[in-house]
Amino acid sequence: MSKKILVTGGTGYIGSHTIIDLIENGFTPVSLDNGINSDASILEQVEQITGVKVKHYAVDLCDYDATRSIFEKESFDGVIHFAALKAVGESVAYPFKYFRNNLNSTLNALELSKEFGVKAFIFSSSCTVYGNVESSPVTESTPLMDAASPYGRTKQMGEQMIQDTIAENSLTKAIILRYFNPAGAHISGLIGEAPTNQALNLVPVITETAIGKRPSMSVFGTDYPTRDGSCIRDYIHVMDLAHAHTLALKSILDDQQQIPIEIYNLGIGAGASVLEVIHAFESVTGQALNYVITERRPGDVVAIYANYEKAKTQLSWEPKYNIEDIMRTAWDWEIKRSKL
């Protein structure tokens, strides 16, 4: 029988793309999302792509009783816990909002997974847990530094909650996935990043500027010690990222994971600078982007990219898409989104 997977944050950006990959790999995803940064209508596009109508619960994961009743009703084989608030700047301004939402939701998802004997628990973490690293590539054993924001700290604390609660004799095994910079959209152009709050990541800022939603955009500093002076990040296509969740689930459900908890970096292992990303956009779309070079932004890490060897060896995960694919799919989605 098809294994049933709870996807918290299922109508969000990465959650909705992962639902597609889960369906394509024979799983039955069930979505839970309170719509704080997404719209459940995205599941209509998911149905168009996959032919499957996904069951959805419009529930706040911080509401323990409402979440518990879902665990009682459904019998989950796995939980992928995406639901979180994720705006770094907002988290600095409203730390309690972030602690309350991200920690309580993780606590409930984790506690109920253990209580109901869910076999696999997958957690969305972030390269932000590494803090301001001194050198790249970053491996999973690179020591974690100060998280630099309440958002980052909620990811570090989420990881610690898992470390403290998933023990050797636990029925539940866990995987912590540390994403680098997810970007791009599904190849169909039917779904992509569609936050109800303002987009802050580089790729949607580029596409929104190009389509005219923003008059221009800023490149924050071109005097860093990098090859062209702008900051370097590791952009990973959202469908590559989505597929890593399916492989992570399988490694636990198929009893390949011997230890209670594993941690994997997910990036493509090569950094692209802000200016390189802009040039990739210009080259795949043939369109010049209106941007200005401004002062450095406080708190920006100079360069961070992943060593993903562990995910490659242990999960047989290999990214298929490059930065041009990311920009092409993100642009197709932006055009489609502007007509909605």
Counts for the chain of helices (H) and strands (E), in that order: 12, 13
Out of 23, 43, 46, 84, the only residue in the binding site for ligand NAD (CB under 6 A) is 84
User: Which C-beta is closer to ligand NAD: that of 37 or that of 307?
Assistant: 37
| Residues 42 to 81 in contact with ligand NAD, rule: CB under 6 A | 60-62
Three-state DSSP at 181 gives strand
Out of 27, 76, 82, 281, the only residue in the binding site for ligand NAD (CB under 6 A) is 82
Q: Which stretch binds ligand NAD (CB under 6 A): 4-12, 165-173, 291-299, 303-311?
A: 4-12
Contact between 3 and ligand NAD by CB under 6 A: the answer reads no
Which residues have a Cβ under 8 Å from the Cβ of 236 and sit 6 or more positions away? 179, 180, 181, 182, 183, 266, 267, 268, 319
User: Which C-beta is closer to ligand NAD: that of 154 or that of 273?
Assistant: 154
Minimum CB distance to ligand NAD, residue 288 (Å): 26
Using alpha carbons, list the distances in angstroms from residue 316 to 127, 240, 243, 244, 319. Answer: 21, 12, 11, 9, 10
Contact between 13 and ligand NAD by CB under 6 A: the answer reads yes
Three-state DSSP at 150 gives helix
User: Which C-beta is closer to ligand NAD: that of 101 or that of 251?
Assistant: 101
Minimum CB distance to ligand NAD, residue 153 (Å): 12
| Residues 23 to 42 in contact with ligand NAD, rule: CB under 6 A | 33-38
Minimum CB distance to ligand NAD, residue 237 (Å): 12
What residues are labeled active site? 151
User: Which C-beta is closer to ligand NAD: that of 8 or that of 251?
Assistant: 8
* Residue 248 DSSP class: H
- Cβ–Cβ under 8 Å, residues 84 and 9: yes
| Residues 180 to 209 in contact with ligand NAD, rule: CB under 6 A | 181-182, 195, 201
Please give the size of the binding site for ligand NAD, defined by CB under 6 A: 29
Residue 293: burial class (beta carbons within 10 Å; 0-12, 13-18, 19+): middle
CA dist., res. 73 & res. 77, Å (int)? 13
Minimum CB distance to ligand NAD, residue 113 (Å): 15
Out of 91, 105, 209, 265, the only residue in the binding site for ligand NAD (CB under 6 A) is 105
| Phi and psi at residue 8, to the nearest 5° | -80, 140
Q: Where are the beta strands (DSSP E) in the chain?
A: 4-8, 28-32, 55-57, 78-81, 120-126, 173-179, 181-183, 217-220, 232-233, 235-237, 261-266, 272-273, 291-294
Which chain residues interact with ligand NAD by CB under 6 A? Answer: 9, 11-15, 33-38, 60-62, 82-86, 101, 105, 124, 126, 179, 181-182, 195, 201
